[in-house]
Amino acid sequence: MNQEKLIIFDTTLRDGEQSLSSSLSVQQKVRIARQLERLKVDVIEAGFPISSPGDFESVSTIAREIQRPVICGLARLVEKDIIACGKAVKPAKRPRIHLFVGTSAIHMEKKLKKSEDDILSMVKQSIRLARRYVDDVEFSPEDAGRTGLDFLCRVVEHAIRCGAKTINIPDTVGYTTPEQFGAIFDDLFARVPNIGEAVISVHCHNDLGMATANSITAVSHGARQIECAVNGLGERAGNTALEEVVMGIKVRHDLFRHLRMAIDTREIMHTSRLVREICNMPVQANKAIVGANAFAHSSGIHQDGVLKARQTYEIMTPESVGLRENRMNLTSRSGSHMVKSRLAALGYNGPEVDIAEFYGRFIALADKKGSVYDDDLVALMEAKNAGDLADRFTLEYLNVSSGLGTVATATARMAHDGKTEQEAATGDGAVDAATKAIDRIAGFKITIEHYHLESVTEGREAQGKVTMVGRAAEGVFVGTGTSTDIVEASALAYMDIVNKIARMKKFRRKLPQQKSSMADEL
């Protein structure tokens, strides 16, 4: 079968950045662009060069340093925009200028104060000017979803005749429904005589939550380029999420076997996390494909099904998007089959396991704690009495001094084994100093791999909950602490890890040294 290329056009650095509270630096944009190149996107829309000197520099730097993808810049149908864009993308091996103008009645009348003929004249002049700088010109009739079909067909035909090689159909305000959007593409392909001379693209926004559905519908109706952003970043409710359309088409290959993509889907999760980190934009836990819960199972029925055959509740593998494995949350909703499976992974799979009796104790602990981790299971198995589960170390006193221009210092006093010890330490910040002071007393070597702070109450006296993932010789441990003071909450979370390690030493056991699944939630 002859497959057609589906072009993935990433606009994280342009439309995505417009949704951020502050602009990205040149270095940050280049880091993301390099990862997009590893992801093998076809086109990177690197920015809007006329918008600021910083954006011009970002586009120009990416054009010089990123080799494989097409490097694209955005421009209005304004001479200075097009000249700036042409200069910015000039260093690229494969430069593109993306022109846009509003074509809906409300845009033309209220924003631009232009007639249809005015718009057509502007399109002609602008494409001709852009072609002086690049051979690859893309044109977007902004707000195409609300543009009259007669004029939309007219402006698309005109842009292609003037030299545009890609025509993008944007649902700029996320207004259309999939059925309506598909009909727009049907009309374009039926009524525009030269439409076969250009690649037809789609650019959807998520104001009504239909960006992914509209984009895939457009592909079903002939579009061969999808404009999207990592994690769905973008103006207002965001753009079509790259990971959703890519995996939607890959998973449903039965519907799209006539298409091929260059994307290396194993880079999706790494790309998502990099964008989340640099842009300081969290991803909701239930976000499709890249959310912390996308490959997590909590229901006992679901866990039992996945243990028997992953396909029962997973339509794609975690490995296909760059995760090592799925995550089975141990909670009061987990069934005995899941608990028995986890115990076996920890080495408890012999006659010493009375799963019926153990499961009752597990449920009691899960109801109390909410989430149960590997160290909790070991403690339940190994403890002979309540004393075995008691904390060995107690933090009695903590004083931290830090501020601008000073070295953070912490003094900690802890009780353990019938005695009290006090130590002081300096660190790179208040939390680092506090954990180092605790280390001097406990004597454990712990590496904090992940740290997460969230507010659990509101107002001036809000409680903050800190969750840490720490690695030691005895395994990987999750610690939590809550306080109105962030440093105190952090110290309590660290103490939680310290006491878990102390129990593991007492039981003379080690946990598996794989990365904790909790890290995916942080």
pLDDT at 182 over 60: yes
Cβ–Cβ under 8 Å, residues 232 and 211? yes
The answer to whether residues 418 and 474 belong to one domain is: yes
CATH number of the domain enclosing 207: 3.20.20.70
Torsion of CA 101, 102, 103, 108, to 10 degrees: -120
**Considering the chain, what percentage of its residues have pLDDT values greater than 70?**
97
The answer to whether residues 120 and 220 belong to one domain is: yes
Instruction: List Cα–Cα distances, 36 to 230, 236, 265, 275, 470, in angstroms.
Output: 9, 23, 11, 10, 30
pLDDT, position 445: 93
What confidence tens digit (pLDDT) does each residue in 85-111 have?
999 999 999 999 999 999 999 999 999
What confidence tens digit (pLDDT) does each residue in 274-308 have?
999 999 998 998 999 998 888 877 777 887 787 78
Q: What is the mean pLDDT of residues 42-47?
A: 98
The answer to whether residues 147 and 270 belong to one domain is: yes
Please give the tally of structural domains in the chain: 3
Backbone angles phi, psi at 142, to 5 degrees: -60, 140
pLDDT at 517 over 70: no
Cβ–Cβ under 8 Å, residues 218 and 181? yes
The answer to whether residues 265 and 313 belong to one domain is: no
pLDDT, position 518: 47
Burial of 320 (0-12, 13-18, 19+ CB in 10 A): middle
Cβ–Cβ under 8 Å, residues 231 and 276? yes
pLDDT, position 307: 78
How many Cα neighbours within 13 Å face the side chain of 458?
0
The answer to whether residues 266 and 402 belong to one domain is: no
pLDDT at 65 over 90: yes
The answer to whether residues 102 and 229 belong to one domain is: yes
Would residue 105 count as lying in a domain? yes
Would residue 425 count as lying in a domain? yes
pLDDT, position 15: 95
The answer to whether residues 417 and 368 belong to one domain is: no
Would residue 284 count as lying in a domain? no
Return d(Cα 137, Cα 86) in angstroms, integer. 11
* Residue 522 banded pLDDT, cuts 50, 70, 90: very low
Cβ–Cβ under 8 Å, residues 377 and 346? yes
Q: What is the mean pLDDT of residues 243-248?
A: 98
The answer to whether residues 275 and 300 belong to one domain is: no
The answer to whether residues 366 and 414 belong to one domain is: no
* Residue 458 banded pLDDT, cuts 50, 70, 90: low
Write down which residue in 232, 252, 279 finishes a domain.
279
Q: What is the mean pLDDT of residues 499-516?
A: 80
What global pTM score does this model have?
A: 0.82
Neighbouring residues of 308: CB distance < 8 A, sequence distance ≥ 6: none
Neighbouring residues of 28: CB distance < 8 A, sequence distance ≥ 6: 278
**Considering the chain, what percentage of its residues have pLDDT values greater than 90?**
72
The answer to whether residues 168 and 56 belong to one domain is: yes
pLDDT at 515 over 70: no
Would residue 432 count as lying in a domain? yes
Residues of the domain holding 318: 296-372
Write down which residue in 245, 279, 313 finishes a domain.
279
What is the average pLDDT score of the chain?
Answer: 92
The answer to whether residues 30 and 140 belong to one domain is: yes
Would residue 263 count as lying in a domain? yes
Would residue 384 count as lying in a domain? no
pLDDT at 190 over 70: yes
pLDDT at 521 over 50: no
The answer to whether residues 219 and 304 belong to one domain is: no
Highest mean pLDDT among 238-242, 290-294, 360-364: 238-242
Query: Any idea which of 193-197, 321-325, 346-350, 463-467 has the lowest mean pLDDT?
Result: 346-350
Write down which residue in 337, 372, 407 finishes a domain.
372
Would residue 108 count as lying in a domain? yes
Would residue 17 count as lying in a domain? yes
CATH number of the domain enclosing 500: 3.30.160.270
Q: What is the mean pLDDT of residues 426-435?
A: 95
